[in-house]
A and B are shown apart, each in its own frame.
Chain A
């Protein structure tokens, strides 16, 4: 950023913004103050329920149903949004302020051609000039996002484009009217890393070349580290720390920021992840005083009394904490049971030989060969649709249309779970991706686990009720959770229950299918820690499926990289990170966002 730009008036100026629920008066966000200057990207980071999307929407003059702006000022280009009527707001949206949605698949109208939708945006804001000029502008907008601009392409319907192309069209629409401010709501969440890298680059270039002030709302710290100039961290509806990117990532001061950064796996650094204990402070259930104090190791009486004021640490680095000095002095905690590599056994627990799988006529997997040894964690990585989940389903007997051999301790397994013996089923347990769907909403946690214990009776028998308690305590839940229904638990707790259910059978192999992808980073870290501990305790083997490449370095002993149904690379984790042999792996590793690489603290894993 050049010196002249810093003097410019901020395009976005939010002062002391408070948005509250209309009925209960509970605040969703409060005391929000952010400024974004032209050409600048502000990363707004937070976990689910932190209010980050609410703030992003507020810049568009929009508060979702059930809430209202209860205080503060939002100025866009010097104009106070609260003074604008509905018509002026409509004119503002898509014109002065525009929005890039999370999922372009649902935000583009599937029934209209790309060209129609782009022209509509221009017409809505009645830029002067006729149809010809508009078409020219449409082509220009598409070229800016590196899409073809020929008639052929313009005739396409959204479904004819790939996810990445759809997102580019959405970006082109957002930039079409040359906005001054742009709000991005996790626009790369649904994309694979390669596409994500390109989309991020496009957004950054466009913001810089057109002096657009961007608010980038995200839960992904690595993406923000690569993209943003300034970063604000939200917790419980307030900004707890803000500063430049380097200040915040290299010298985090708020205990929450520090713990959050410890929870993020990084592809560039081989280190453990550490979860944050406790529950996020959600609207209506926020504690007195500092919202983070129940989860904070530095909390003292003053933290319990009142929310800390803003402390300026100099050069715009602001933090809301009474005990910054303590927090900075303390070394960050170490994660349990991940870094120390256990002795991986010699014997093969799971053997996959020449696995070919089909869905109907379509072949999904081609000659997959993978071994999982005793006490080993093999990660299956690949982008969505690569066939990694299909592999897991073949192993578990959920998908039956396959040929080849899947063997447990050398014994070949039948295709379907029901054709296998009870003992074989006991040995392979499956943990599903989405804990919101994998537990029966009409059964208590206790009933769910007790049933599993009846199906696979543990050695020595004993009282089922007591056993259920043991199973729950093993995953760090209290035994009293047995009486609860799934909807009374948080996502992380549900995933713990799902793991407890799998472990009740005392399996030899745990198949983990994207088990953390539906969870927040701090919760993800806690689940990863738990799996690490359980492996040490129980001598489990893991088949760990993930699309989060940053995570694999933390968890896996061995990695299989899958693309389009082929295993293109298979070997020990370190070897794959230090000397990947396949081009695909290199591309994957290089495109994965990394905080450390972004800050220049580490070199890219492959170059």
Chain B
């Protein structure tokens, strides 16, 4: 007799779908379904609101800023005035304007690094899981070597060797994400590889690339989405940290990480210069984390009700 396929079937409660079955809960584009489910959770909504606010500030801030980021508008560490509502920094520039200008770079760098890391990591993870031979071993051991470096050390090493170039930061942050993503995706894909529908493609001599793209990839969407969110959170933190350490955007450009560094000496007289970017980064990372958590919960919920 059949092994029960799901908790529900085992309970004799949920009917197997017949031809008059309710509309599909599982679509080919499962990620759409997961995102829809996730958007119904309060935590996801709060997270989206937090991320939304910061993204709006980063995108439209430069347009509404009263001053350019490099303009000297008052005496150094001058208190708030009607012209500069948060006062001036140690060089006499408008803190509020610099804050409004300084978010965009963090955002695009983090996003680019995340996409790069997740794409490379997913590719490596899927290939390793599918190959199940020496290639799997080589890829995963290389992974382990990369995992041995703390991410920030790796980035600083590259930047101090080649120079503080933004593309280099994006690439190295992405590359150091990749092995972490690869591990997760490989684990998820290993269970799929053992399923009979993959064997059915093997027997038919289906192209390997097609088995990976059509057979494996759509079946690991849940961990993929979660990794995407998680790596985004880490990217924001990393990019801001590198900027803080002075390896990112160079002065006098406005940047949140850099602002924290520039203004930390005058924190007692002019705390806004540090607080505002710190708050922005915190809200952003907590927001992305909440969204990720919502996605993870929705994915688990869908899996429980489906397979």
Query: Which residues from chain A sit less than 8 Å from chain B, CB to CB?
Result: 21, 28, 48-51, 53-54, 64-67, 186, 189, 219-220, 279, 282-285, 396-398, 417-418, 420, 422, 425, 428-430, 432-434, 436-444, 451-452, 455-456, 478, 481, 484-485, 487-491, 493, 498, 501, 505, 517-520
Contact = CB atoms under 8 A, between A and B. Distances in A.
Contacts of A28: 12-13
A64 B28 contact: no
A64 to B, nearest CB: 5
Contacts of B24: 484-485, 487-488
Interface in B27-61: 27-28, 30
Contacts of A425: 203-205
A417 B205 contact: yes
B253 to A, nearest CB: 45
B17 to A, nearest CB: 5
Interface stretch (B2-10, B83-91, B120-128, B225-233): B2-10
27 contacts: A21-B13, A28-B13, A51-B12, A65-B11, A67-B13, A220-B1, A282-B16, A283-B12, A285-B15, A417-B202, A417-B203, A417-B204, A425-B203, A428-B203, A430-B199, A432-B199, A438-B195, A441-B26, A442-B26, A442-B214, A443-B218, A478-B19, A484-B24, A488-B17, A489-B17, A501-B200, A518-B3
Interface string B191-229: 000011101101111100000001100110000000000
A16 B27 CA distance: 42
B interface, over-half SS: loop
A48 B12 contact: yes
A50 B16 CA distance: 12
A485 B26 contact: yes
Contacts of A439: 197
A435 B195 CA distance: 11
B250 interface: no
Contact of B218 (A420, A442, A455, A490): A442
Contacts of A417: 202-205
Contact of A398 (B1, B203, B307): B203
Interface string B79-117: 000000000000000000000000000000000000000
Nearest to B198: A440
A53 B12 contact: yes
A400 B145 CA distance: 33
B21 interface: yes
Contacts of A50: 12
A54 B16 CA distance: 17
A69 to B, nearest CB: 15
Contacts of A455: 204-206
B252 interface: no
Contacts of A518: 2-3
A194 to B, nearest CB: 19
Given A67-B13, A417-B203, A441-B219, 16 more contacts: A21-B13, A49-B15, A65-B11, A279-B19, A282-B18, A429-B203, A432-B196, A438-B197, A440-B214, A440-B215, A442-B28, A442-B218, A442-B219, A443-B218, A481-B19, A489-B19
Interface of B: 1-3, 5, 9, 11-13, 15-21, 24-28, 30, 195-197, 199-200, 202-206, 214-215, 218-219, 306-307
Contacts of B306: 487
B196 to A, nearest CB: 4
A436 B20 contact: no
Contacts of A282: 15-16, 18
A396 B203 contact: yes
B133 to A, nearest CB: 12
B2 to A, nearest CB: 4
Contacts of A186: 1
B195 to A, nearest CB: 5
Given A443-B214, A488-B21, A490-B18, A64 B200 contact: no
Nearest to B195: A437
The 3 closest A-B pairs by CB, nearest first: A282-B15, A442-B218, A438-B196
Contacts of A398: 199, 202-203
B203 A430 contact: yes
Contact of B27 (A418, A433, A485): A485
Contacts of B20: 285
Contacts of B196: 432-434, 437-438
B129 to A, nearest CB: 16
A50 B130 CA distance: 40
A186 B197 CA distance: 29
User: Which of B1, B26, B307 has the most A CB atoms < 10 Å from its CB?
Assistant: B1
Nearest to B16: A490
A360 B280 CA distance: 57
B211 to A, nearest CB: 10
B200 A438 contact: yes
A428 B202 CA distance: 12
Contacts of A189: 1
A170 B123 CA distance: 47
Contact of A284 (B15, B25, B195, B197): B15
Contacts of A519: 2
Given A21-B13, A28-B13, A505-B204, A437 B197 contact: yes
A481 B204 CA distance: 22
Contact of A66 (B11, B28, B199, B203): B11
Nearest to A55: B12
A441 B307 contact: yes
Contacts of B203: 396-398, 417, 425, 428-430
A88 B47 CA distance: 49
Contacts of B200: 430, 432, 438, 498, 501
B1 A443 contact: no
A437 B5 CA distance: 10
Nearest to B2: A518
A444 B28 contact: yes
B206 A451 contact: yes
B16 A49 contact: yes
A501 B199 CA distance: 13
B13 A485 contact: no
A490 B1 CA distance: 15
A9 to B, nearest CB: 30
Contact of B13 (A66, A432, A444): A66
Contact of B197 (A397, A440, A456, A484): A440
Contacts of B27: 485
Contacts of B205: 417-418, 420, 422, 425, 455
Contacts of B3: 518
A485 B16 contact: no
B204 A491 contact: no
B238 to A, nearest CB: 33
Q: Which of the listed residues B20, B199, B215 has the most CB atoms from chain A within 10 Å of its own CB?
A: B199
Contacts of A488: 17, 21, 24
A425 B17 CA distance: 33
A481 B18 CA distance: 11
A285 B18 CA distance: 9
